[in-house]
Structures are given as C-alpha cells and as structure tokens.
Amino acid sequence: MKEVVLMEQETMRDGASVSLRQILDEQKQKLGVPELVIKHFLRWEAGEGIEREDLNFAEEVAKELKKREKH
C-alpha cells in the first residue's frame, strides 16, 4: 500500500529511505508551523524519461575496431 499512498511513499534522502510524511513532519518542526499542505505534485516512475538505444555489443566492438584501424 505504501507505493500508492503519497504520504507513505519512500524516497532517498541523505542516503536513507524516508517517507514523504517524515519529510513534511521535519519541515513543519523546522519552520515552526502546525501544518504543511501539498497543493501540487508530479508523478515520476523509476527510469521514466530515460531513452536508451538498443545496441548490439558485437557490432559496437567491430565499429570501434574499424575506427582504430583507420588511425
């Protein structure tokens, strides 16, 4: 259930896994306010937006060897 509840989702902060609720609680205490409200958020999925070209390793090695032969 933690994966779908915004306030319980885990994120990495300073090398440790913390929930958004923990981050907000820390900020409320730091700012001395009774409440913080999230008005907007964006949903990102791990690896989203990373475009990767599928390459054939053997072909890449052959290309590099040809380049080196020319020099």
| pLDDT tens digits, 32-69 | 999 998 898 887 777 767 777 777 888 888 888 988 88
User: Is residue 26 very low, low, confident or very high in pLDDT (cuts 50, 70, 90)?
Assistant: very high
Q: Greater confidence, 26 or 5?
A: 26
The set of residues, in sequence order, having a beta carbon less than 8 Å from that of 38 and lying 6+ positions away, is: 6, 24
CA distances from 42 to 6, 35, 39, 51 (A): 11, 21, 11, 20
